[in-house]
């Protein structure tokens, strides 16, 4: 620093300069030595060193010493104290106002920094207007473990460079917080990947041990997207290993129809990221998005129709394309019981199961007496098994919307009135229904929130065996006086296949009715579960 007449040279810098001259025989270029020599002789550096020395020497003497070095903490305490005062004097108000001023806070902050001798050199801010060609590179190191990286790569179509295609939520790459979709991969473990294919890069990754080092050019505008909370129930099976279109097979998440999936990201229009609900694996996997799956189903259906296969009339029932259904948990409420609905092929045993359940507690389980237009069978009583009514009267009531479900079977109408179901639910009883399967869509509404159990036949052989051994009565015989015929067994199997094709996405549970006692115990535990456990229902029922 200029000191009146003469510039005072710092002895340390002078020493450094002379040792530099002695070091001229070291293996360094002339350019490097020249640079250091100029720097050590520069006025700016000397001025800075002098300022530094001054501060140190002042600090060392007792001339200036701080009374305290935490004035900012005290400021915060005072503000906290003042803000809770119900009444404040004018002075108090002024102090409160002053202490919030940025200038005062800045001053105290600087004071504390000096008092704490916190004057380390700080790195300069990154210049805002860098040269366009200059790229920022980030170096990311991950320790390789048995866990996959949790990121996929691809060749960028326009630039031909290798880029991070997606980062799987919860995977190693995501947890590092350092790798983002769109980042350009420059090097992997010191190997330049320019001109390499994603497979080549995978090879490098697979062959590396220990730490993996990536050199990446960060993508613009990324940001850690938050996980979505959406849960869906899958209405189809998915096996990524046979999906020719999945961008990365290793990243696929396989699931079965009925599985509940936690959708963590819907950022990509075609490939969602999901986890199986309850799965402890943190890393999400890729599944086809709703839009993609709908397209696939429509495509498959047009192919089938072209071949002229399987075009039965009630296919329209499946007009709703079953892909994913958003679900939420419904918590049981004391005294409010969801109706239990047993669905299945005629003759499969729903009445038998229902009867047994009611017998366990006739006060608790109730079934509404259905209406029918079929003629009364011998031994039946009006109002007991059915209310027997004229077809025209029943049709009129159906038109008036008095039936929550109705269907036609072999020329006769069957139905359950809305009133009778509501009355049971409101009385705090468990309503158990075994309606015709066509009624499902009408029943599956938020007002009723039914729990739908599909009663499934076992194989044809086991069906015949069990029914014959039990001397089961055919429900196709008006007198209920004989067993099932060969044709009727076949009809049960056919009807079951049809019901499954049309409605399986509505089933909350499936019980195979082979051994009657076993099937019944399953029904009983389902009924108990319904009262005690939160269960997944369409999300709209919960909102
Ligand atoms: N697992 C089983 N093993 C043997 N017999 C069975 C079994 N389940 C039901 N049955 C018998 O099969 C017959 C038909 O059962 P059920 O009347 O319950 O059928 P359903 O499904 O109610 O038929 P529908 O819908 O036509 O009225 C009855 O005799 C019943 O006892």
**150, 174 in Cβ contact below 8 A?**
yes
348 lines ligand 1 (CB under 6 A): yes
473 lines ligand 1 (CB under 6 A): yes
Could you tell me which of 250, 260, 251, 268 has the C-alpha nearest to residue 229?
A: 260
Helices 350-360 and 516-532 sit at what angle, rounded to 10 degrees?
Answer: 60
pLDDT above 90: residue 336: no
522 lines ligand 1 (CB under 6 A): no
Burial of 126 (0-12, 13-18, 19+ CB in 10 A): exposed
Q: What are phi and psi of 350, to 5 degrees?
A: -70, -40
**249, 241 in Cβ contact below 8 A?**
yes
- 47-75 per-position pLDDT tens digit: 888 887 887 777 666 666 777 888 888 98
For residue 527, report the distance from its CA to the centre of ligand 1, in Å.
Answer: 20
Give the count of alpha carbons within 13 A of 79, CB side only. 12
pLDDT at residue 433 in the model: 92
CA 220 to chain centroid, in Å, comes to 25
- 375-426 per-position pLDDT tens digit: 998 999 998 888 999 999 999 999 998 888 788 888 999 888 888 888 899 8
With a pLDDT cut of 90, the percent of the chain lying above it is 34
With a pLDDT cut of 70, the percent of the chain lying above it is 87
Could you tell me which of 327, 231, 380, 341 has the C-alpha nearest to residue 536?
A: 327
- 178-216 per-position pLDDT tens digit: 888 888 999 988 889 988 888 888 888 888 777 788 888
Q: Output 85 or 345, whichever has higher pLDDT.
A: 345
370 lines ligand 1 (CB under 6 A): no
pLDDT at residue 26 in the model: 67
pLDDT above 50: residue 440: yes
For residue 426, report the distance from its CA to the centre of ligand 1, in Å.
Answer: 30
Q: Output 467 or 268, whichever has higher pLDDT.
A: 467
Tokens representing residue 426 in the block: 């409101």
Mean pLDDT of the chain: 84
Q: Output 421 or 86, whichever has higher pLDDT.
A: 421
Helices 30-41 and 11-22 sit at what angle, rounded to 10 degrees?
Answer: 160
């Amino acid at each position: 620093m200029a000191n009146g007449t003469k510039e005072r040279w710092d002895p340390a810098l002078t020493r450094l300069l002379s040792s530099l001259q002695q070091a001229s025989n070291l293996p360094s270029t002339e350019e490097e030595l020249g640079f250091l020599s100029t720097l050590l002789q520069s006025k700016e550096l000397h001025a800075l060193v002098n300022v530094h020395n001054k501060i140190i020497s002042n600090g060392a003497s007792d001339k200036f010493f701080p009374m305290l070095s935490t004035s900012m903490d005290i400021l915060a305490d005072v503000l906290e104290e003042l803000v809770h005062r119900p009444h404040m004097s004018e002075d108090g108000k002024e102090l409160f106002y002053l202490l919030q001023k940025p200038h005062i806070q800045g001053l105290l902050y600087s004071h504390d920094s000096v008092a704490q001798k916190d004057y380390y050199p700080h790195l300069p801010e990154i210049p805002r207007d860098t040269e366009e060609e200059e790229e920022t590179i980030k170096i990311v190191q991950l320790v390789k473990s048995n866990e996959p990286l949790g990121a996929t790569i691809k060749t960028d179509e326009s630039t031909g460079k290798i880029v991070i295609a997606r980062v799987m939520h919860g995977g190693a790459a995501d947890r590092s917080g350092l790798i983002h979709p769109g980042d350009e991969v420059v090097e992997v473990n010191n190997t330049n990947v320019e001109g390499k294919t994603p497979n080549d890069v995978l090879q490098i990754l697979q062959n590396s041990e220990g730490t993996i080092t990536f050199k990446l050019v960060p993508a613009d505008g990324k940001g850690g997207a938050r996980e979505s909370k959406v849960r869906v129930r899958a209405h189809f099976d998915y096996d990524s290993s046979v999906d020719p279109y999945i961008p990365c097979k290793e990243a696929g998440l396989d699931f079965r129809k009925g599985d509940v999936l936690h959708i963590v990201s819907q950022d990509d229009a075609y490939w969602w990221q999901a986890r199986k609900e309850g799965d402890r694996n943190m890393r999400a996997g890729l599944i086809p998005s709703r839009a993609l799956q709908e397209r696939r189903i429509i495509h498959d259906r047009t192919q089938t129709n072209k071949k002229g296969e399987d075009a039965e009339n009630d296919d329209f029932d499946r007009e709703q394309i079953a892909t994913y259904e958003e679900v939420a948990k419904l918590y049981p409420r004391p005294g409010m019981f969801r109706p239990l609905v047993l669905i299945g092929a005629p003759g499969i045993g729903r009445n038998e199961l229902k009867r047994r359940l009611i017998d366990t507690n006739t006060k608790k389980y109730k079934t509404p007496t259905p209406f029918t237009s079929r003629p009364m069978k011998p031994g039946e009583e009006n109002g007991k098994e059915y209310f027997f009514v004229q077809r025209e009267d029943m049709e009129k009531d159906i038109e008036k919307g008095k039936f929550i479900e109705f269907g036609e079977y072999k020329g006769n109408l069957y139905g359950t009135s809305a009133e009778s179901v509501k009355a049971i639910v409101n009385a705090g009883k468990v309503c158990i229904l075994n309606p015709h399967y066509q009624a499902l869509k009408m029943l599956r509404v938020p007002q009723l929130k039914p729990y739908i159990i599909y009663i499934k036949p076992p194989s044809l052989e086991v069906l015949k065996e069990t029914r014959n051994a039990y001397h089961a009565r055919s429900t196709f015989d008006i007198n209920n006086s004989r067993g099932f015929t060969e044709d009727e067994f076949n009809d049960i199997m056919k009807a079951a296949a049809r019901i499954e094709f049309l409605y399986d996405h509505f089933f909350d549970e499936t019980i195979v009715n082979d051994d009657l006692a076993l099937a019944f115990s399953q029904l009983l535990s389902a009924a108990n579960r319904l009262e005690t456990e939160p269960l997944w229902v369409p999300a709209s029922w919960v909102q």
